[in-house]
Amino acid sequence: MGESGKEATRLEELEEAQAEVDIWKYVFGYTEIAAVKCAIELGIPDVLEGQEHPVTLSQLCSILNCSPSFLYRIMRFLVHCNVFKQQSMSDGSIGYVQTPISRRMTKSGDRNMTAFILLEGSPPMLAPWHGLSSRVLANGSPAFKSTHGEDVWSYAAANPAHSELIDNAMACDARVAISAIVNGCPEIFEGISTLVDVGGGNGTALGLLVKAFPWIKGINFDLPHVASVAPARDGITHVGGDMFKSVPQADAAFIMWVLHDWGDDECIEILKRCREAIPKEKGKVIIVEAVVNEGDREDDMLEHVRLMLDMVMMAHTNKGKERTLKEWENVILEAGFTHYTVKSIPAVQSVIEAYP
């Protein structure tokens, strides 16, 4: 056997050895999600965040009223996963402290993603994953609808607690994405006096935009059962309605993480209603959505998240998907827009400005 053959054999052996390790990720992969959800529900990140010094196991047990043996095993696992850290204390004992990732699991803070984790880890959202293979079949039915008998939006309308969980989860991402937009491309809001947020949920995103650009009058537009319980916010009017029928008029329409929930035909209809709501001469629609790179930017650390989101769309929506730039171009032009621009921001999403 030549050197090239030996090298190929060594590579195969290394791949086999790695496979022996990696296969367990798919056997027990859910354990990380479950343990993190457990920590959030117990309030461990919030306890650690409020302490000046490392917190011992006994202190954690006392504060949270937990079983020492069980809590120790949870903490041991999450320390191994780098969710929390251990620190030695002056008396020789071991205490736990926060990490950048666990700080995103508190119930407050501008970058917390707690509600998003709790939404995706909730029984209604986990159950459809068991029907993913059926969804992929040629005549497969939507996984969420097959599981619950209705689509995710009808389910949310009939279950206020789940609707609130969705709104809170979207608010988590909004705080991250809007900060990236405000800091990265504030010029896109110049000259806009009125802005309608289409599918704006509880108004978190629009509230942040109005705060950053106080000359804007905001209209938070969503389904009636969502808009009716949205909290009052300065500079914002909440309006209920159906985006497939009409959108309130404004200088510009803002639509973030809504279009990926729908198929191309539905996206085109929504964008048409948005185009009708803005001035033809100077109006625009600001689309904040993921743009799948298809290998164009291998250094993009968020690309894996976009591809995971595409799987989420397959599990949780009827026709939703994450789109490539070419796919976005198709729906934008089909909706009657003449041109568009794309801006990258340090977030999962990009900013697409579509012009009539």
Supply the DSSP string of 270-323, one letter for each residue: HHHHHHHHS-TTT-EEEEEEEEE-TTS-TT-TTHHHHHHHHHHHHHHSSS---E
Residues found in the chain: 356
Contact 131, 110 (CB under 8 A): no
122 DSSP β-pair partners: none
Q: Write down the residue that tokens 């699991």 correspond to.
A: 105
316 catalytic? Reply is no
H helix and E strand count, the chain? 16, 11
Q: How far is 257 from 347, CA to CA, in rounded Å?
A: 12
Contact 47, 55 (CB under 8 A): yes
Q: How far is 284 from 273, CA to CA, in rounded Å?
A: 12
**Which DSSP state fits 296?**
S
Instruction: Say what the alpha-carbon torsion angle 58, 64, 66, 72 is, to the nearest 10 degrees.
Output: -50
Catalytic entry in 162, 238, 260, 316: 260
CA distances from 262 to 137, 146, 290, 321, 346 (A): 19, 17, 14, 7, 24
Active site residues per annotation: 260
